[in-house]
């Protein structure tokens, strides 16, 4: 007899394992906290403070292509295990050196590679256990772990940095992340051959998505619309996430980590709520709403951050809503990939689409840094540029249509 739990139970076990893995990988979103410690202990200045983070984003995104293919061919368990070991190795490496080059290699490259391998393995197996009517919910729940990570990492990092210093803190976090990811990776399992999670749906039935290859996906004009929209939505959010601690520090002082933690709740909540909403009203409508709201928040941030008398709670609320809308992208775009091109090659297909996240995450913080430096430390020009691009992204959603099937 088959000793596995019934499919719904098994599916949620896989989903929770993926959520837990992402919870450990979310160290990326706490970089704004590490920057202050790096500047103080190592004396780094200017772009040096952001380069390991920017490189990590870029490596993470492009690793998703290779890791996605590995996940499709070798399975999520092995791929996620490799990821956990790489993240641990990268964190341990930076714990031994204050060298800029070592941090680029350790955090930028090794941690980026590790996050790519583990992250690419968390969502696909979970989606395969559930019907299409729950795609947004499941994708949003699994990736919510990544966004929620700063809720515990922000205060934990403050305690570790205060008691052990930067380098020992990196060693402790690296060992803990490696153990958590490797253990949880063993629970990632695809459904047995022949398993079908299809369920009756209300309303007009849609033809199931085909198992398109990456080449077929790249020949679809819709891919490029999605890619550009993803780069805009993700890049604008990451621009704020990478700097929120610095912005909050102006009004909150040493308690700025609270803004990072609260924003993380918005980030994670946006993933789940947008996923559920997209199951109800459609992906395109949800994405248009998200990008439009994000644009409005960017423009609202101009007077809010410029006013030195702004209450800290207003900064926290602004960051939370920006995090909410940013997080929604991470649930919507994997759902688009599954809807449009199927699950057979989902790992590599979403990996290719995910490069938009990496390019946006690399470019927007760089542009923000240059604009802020050129305006004497003001964030106004950065918010203006981001808001304008988000309006463009919202308009681009009008061109999103399900690709035609080639029968």
pLDDT at position 226? 97
Alpha carbon 298 to its chain centroid, in Å, reads 19
204: pLDDT strictly greater than 60: no
Residue 289 confidence (pLDDT) above 90: yes
Helix 257-281 to helix 31-42 angle (10° resolution) is 150
Q: Which residue has the higher pLDDT, 98 or 315?
A: 98
Query: What share of residues in the chain are helix, strand, coil (percent, to 5)?
Result: 80, 0, 20
Q: What is the pLDDT of residue 193?
A: 78
Which of 27-41, 184-198, 203-217, 220-234 is the least confident region?
A: 203-217
Cβ 303 vs Cβ 246: under 8 Å = no
Higher pLDDT pick, 264 / 246: 264
What pLDDT shows up at residue 383?
A: 84
Rounded Cα distance, 3 and 376, in Å: 64
Structure tokens at 380: 């106004």
- pLDDT mean over 227-247: 80
CA 190 distance to own-chain centroid: 23
Q: How far apart are CA 386 and CA 370, in angstroms?
A: 13
pLDDT at residue 59, as a whole number: 93
Q: How many residues make up the chain in this entry?
A: 407
Q: What is the pLDDT of residue 83?
A: 96
Distance from the Cα of residue 27 to its chain's centroid: 11
Q: What is the pLDDT of residue 377?
A: 60
> E-assigned strands of 67-199?
none
Q: What is the DSSP letter of 199?
A: -
Q: Helix 51-74 crosses helix 112-127 at what angle (to 10 degrees)?
A: 40
Sign of torsion, CA 376 378 382 385?
Answer: negative
- In sequence order, which ranges of 186-282 are alpha helices (DSSP H)? 214-218, 221-241, 244-252, 257-281
Structure tokens at 273: 């709520």
pLDDT confidence band for 250 (50 / 70 / 90): low
Q: pLDDT class for 265, splitting at 50, 70, 90? A: confident
Kindly report, residue by residue over 342-364, the tens digit of the pLDDT.
988 999 999 999 999 988 878 88
Per-residue model confidence (pLDDT) at position 5: 46
Whether 228 shows a pLDDT value over 60: the answer reads yes
Q: Taking a C-beta distance cutoff of 8 angstroms, is the pair 355, 67 a contact? A: no
Distance CA 381, CA 388 (A): 11
Which is more confidently placed, 210 or 99?
99
Mean pLDDT of the chain: 86
Helix (H, G, I), strand (E, B) or coil at 189: coil
Answer yes or no: are the C-beta atoms of 32 and 240 closer than 8 Å: no
Nearest 5 degrees, angle CA 183-CA 13-CA 119?
55
State both tokens at 159.
């305690």
| 12-190+214-399: in CATH 3.90.1260.10 | no
Q: Which residue has the higher pLDDT, 251 or 46?
A: 46
Give the pLDDT band of residue 202 (cuts 50, 70, 90): very low
In three-state secondary structure terms, 404 is: coil
Q: CA 396 → CA 225, 226, 262, distances in Å? A: 7, 8, 30
* Tokens (6 digits) for 371: 């604009």
Q: Virtual CA dihedral for 353, 358, 361, 363, nearest 10 degrees?
A: -100
Distance between CA atoms of residues 20 and 18, nearest Å: 5
Q: What is residue 184's predicted lDDT score, i.e. its pLDDT? A: 97
Between CA 239 and CA 248, with CA 242 as vertex, the angle to 5 degrees is 105
């Amino acid at each position: 007899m088959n000793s596995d739990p019934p499919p719904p139970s098994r599916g949620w076990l896989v989903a929770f394992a993926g959520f837990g893995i992402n919870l450990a990988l979310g160290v990326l979103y706490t970089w704004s906290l590490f920057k202050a410690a790096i500047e103080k202990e190592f004396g780094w200045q200017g772009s040096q403070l952001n380069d390991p983070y920017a490189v990590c984003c870029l490596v993470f995104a492009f690793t998703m292509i290779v890791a996605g293919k590995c996940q499709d061919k070798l399975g999520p368990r092995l791929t996620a295990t490799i990821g956990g070991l790489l993240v641990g190795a990268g964190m341990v490496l930076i714990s031994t050196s204050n060298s800029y080059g070592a941090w680029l290699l350790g955090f930028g490259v090794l941690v980026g590679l590790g996050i790519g391998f583990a992250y690419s393995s968390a969502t696909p197996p979970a989606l395969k256990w559930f019907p299409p009517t729950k795609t947004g919910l499941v994708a949003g729940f699994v990736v919510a772990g990544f966004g929620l990570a700063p809720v515990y990492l922000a205060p934990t990092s403050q305690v570790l940095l205060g008691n052990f210093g930067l380098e020992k803190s990196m060693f402790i976090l690296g060992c803990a992340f490696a153990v958590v990811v490797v253990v949880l990776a063993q629970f990632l399992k695809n459904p047995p051959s022949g398993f079908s999670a299809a369920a009756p749906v209300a309303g007009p039935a849609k033809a199931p998505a085909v198992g398109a290859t990456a080449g077929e996906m790249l020949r679809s004009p819709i891919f490029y619309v999605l890619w550009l929209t993803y780069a805009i939505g993700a890049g604008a959010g990451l621009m704020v996430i990478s700097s929120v601690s610095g912005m909050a520090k102006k009004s909150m002082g040493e308690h700025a980590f609270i803004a990072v933690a609260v924003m993380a709740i918005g980030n994670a909540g946006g993933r789940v709520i947008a996923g559920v909403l997209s199951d109800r009203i459609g992906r395109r409508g949800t994405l248009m709403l998200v990008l439009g709201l994000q644009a409005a928040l960017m423009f609202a941030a101009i007077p809010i951050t410029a006013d030195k008398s702004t209450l800290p709670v207003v900064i926290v609320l602004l960051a939370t809503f920006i995090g909410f809308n940013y997080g929604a992208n991470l649930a919507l775009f994997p759902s688009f990939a599954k809807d449009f091109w199927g699950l057979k090659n989902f790992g590599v297909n979403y990996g290719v689409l995910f490069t938009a996240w990496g390019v946006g995450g690399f470019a927007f913080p760089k542009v923000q840094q240059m604009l802020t430096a050129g305006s004497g430390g003001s964030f106004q020009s950065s918010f203006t540029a981001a808001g304008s691009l988000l309006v463009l992204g919202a308009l681009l959603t009008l061109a999103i249509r399900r690709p035609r099937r080639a029968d």
